[in-house]
Amino acid sequence: MTKLDELVSAANAAVAARNWQEAERLWEEVHAIDPKHPRALYALTAHALQRGDLGRAHERLMEALSAAPSDLSILQLAISIHEKRGDPASELEAIEQALTVEPYFLSALLSKASWMERQGRGVEAAATYRNALTVAGPERNWPQGMGPILMHARDVAGGHSARFHEYLRAQLSDRLNGLSGQTRERWEEATSILAGASAAYPSVSNQLAVPRLPAIPFHDPADFDWVEGLEAQTDAIRAELLAAQESLQDAFAPYIAYRPGDPVNQWAELNHSDRWSHLSLWRSGEKQEDTLAACPKTRAALEAVDMADIGGLCPNVMFSALAPHTEIPPHHGETNARLVVHLPLIVPEGCTYRVGFEQRKWEVGKVLIFDDTIEHTARNDSDELRVVLIFDVWNPLLSTEERQVVRELANAARTFGG
């Protein structure tokens, strides 16, 4: 081991022991032997900055940049020193140089956004903070020590999007108010996406995806001829639910029930939890005769509906119970060949439902019909239980012939491999 190697090793050991004075002395010895040693120049610059000696830090920085102009750690020091010296032109130059070396350098992206924010360039700052948040990824993966600046980035980007969204809505208010139904919803969502206030929500099927079907969050109940008859049976269905809660109490089971060893992803809090439970009447196309026997009026009402019948997949029919102060995390359904229907039966105040961009509140006896392959989530912020009847119907955009293709395709997928 050379003398230089011994000094570098000793300096690193001093740093590990947080003996800053000894570390700086050793790096000075390294620098005396090799004046262009990048690690020594970085360390000596950092020590001077730590002491608050901006003049000395700047001198060392110039040496370091001359020796290693593309070293990201040195460039990050340059950004910090120029900021502290009140030299925004040199600060921006160092930022751009760092991003030329590595366009996804998170620290430099955040520095650029902060620089723009200090210069009063709010729109550009928000866009750059948003880019930095994309690079940083989910909050659980944020680099240690960057939490505060990334939370600030999120606040700035979110605040800008909200203001931009309100501005766009104000500019288009007359035009949007002249639209109706799904047409208005479409352009309300487009406005939100343009402002960055929300993302586009595509259809994502966990199993069978039918291409080229539009991703419509909520369908108009008036387009389904069975809705009026079903809604008229709400009181009878609700009475059978209340009776089942007494007589079939043990039959209510957690809706999320992964086996040990299965990846639970976003379902960890609800896995095997009674906070989201259900009582099945049909399960994956199979009638649950014991449950149906206790709910004859519900059965009759459902048999009058053109439910989707895809062997091994649906219909699924259940009473779905969501406990107080419980949220169902965002998720996607199995196939866009079917739609999902909610008939709300017990709905306390404080219960909301979102499919893609669209927010809804359940109203007892008023069905919601939606495409569950679009990201959706539900909340019960009340102190009482919320219960809805859930079942599957065909996507009305599929022809009778296409329904048969769906059945045969699902059957072939199920039987493949014996």
Quote the CA–CA distance of 31 and 38 in Å, as a whole number. 9
Q: What is the CATH number of the domain that holds 119?
A: 1.25.40.10
Question: Taking the CA of residue 256 as centre, how many other CA atoms within 13 Å lie in the half-sphere pointing to its CB?
Answer: 20
CA 204 to each of CA 207, 323, 332, 336, 376: distance values in angstroms, whole numbers, following the listed order: 9, 27, 6, 8, 11
Residues in CB range of 288: below 8 A, 6 or more apart: 280, 281, 282
pLDDT in tens, the chain (418 residues): 687 777 778 878 877 888 888 877 877 877 888 888 888 888 888 888 888 888 888 988 898 888 889 999 999 999 999 999 999 999 999 999 999 999 999 999 999 999 999 999 999 999 999 999 999 999 999 999 999 999 999 999 999 999 999 999 999 999 999 998 888 999 999 999 999 999 899 999 999 999 999 999 999 999 999 999 999 999 999 999 999 999 888 889 999 999 998 888 899 999 999 999 999 999 999 999 999 999 999 999 999 999 999 988 999 999 999 999 999 999 999 999 999 999 999 999 999 999 999 999 999 999 999 999 999 999 999 999 999 999 999 999 999 999 999 999 999 988 887 6
Phi and psi at residue 393, in whole multiples of 5°?
A: -130, 165
Quote the CA–CA distance of 4 and 321 in Å, as a whole number. 70
pLDDT at position 1 is 65
Phi and psi at residue 369, in whole multiples of 5°?
A: -125, 120
In a domain, 182, yes or no: no
User: Are residues 391 and 246 part of one domain?
Assistant: yes
* Cα torsion 274, 278, 284, 288: sign: positive
pLDDT at position 87 is 94
In a domain, 201, yes or no: no
User: Are residues 222 and 157 part of one domain?
Assistant: no
pLDDT at position 10 is 80
Q: H/E element holding 94?
A: helix 88-101
Name the domain boundary from 162, 187, 202. Answer: 162
pLDDT at position 248 is 87
Q: What is the CATH number of the domain that holds 393?
A: 2.60.120.330
Of the candidates 355, 326, 331, 325, which has an alpha carbon nearest to the alpha carbon of residue 341? 355
User: Are residues 249 and 396 part of one domain?
Assistant: yes
User: Are residues 261 and 406 part of one domain?
Assistant: yes
User: Are residues 150 and 62 part of one domain?
Assistant: yes
pLDDT at position 25 is 86
pLDDT at position 32 is 83
In a domain, 403, yes or no: yes
Please state, as a whole number, how many other Cβ atoms lie within 10 Å of the Cβ of residue 345: 23
Which range marks the domain in which residue 304 is found? Answer: 218-415
Phi and psi at residue 162, in whole multiples of 5°?
A: -65, -45
pLDDT at position 347 is 98
- Count of domains forming the chain: 2
Please state, as a whole number, how many other Cβ atoms lie within 10 Å of the Cβ of residue 413: 13
| pTM (two decimals) | 0.81
In a domain, 189, yes or no: no
User: Are residues 387 and 264 part of one domain?
Assistant: yes
Quote the CA–CA distance of 334 and 338 in Å, as a whole number. 9
Q: Which residues in 326-418 belong to E strands, given as ranges?
A: 326-331, 338-346, 351-355, 358-360, 368-370, 376-380, 386-394
Name the domain boundary from 129, 162, 195. Answer: 162
**N-term to C-term CA, the chain:** 66
Quote the CA–CA distance of 112 and 157 in Å, as a whole number. 14
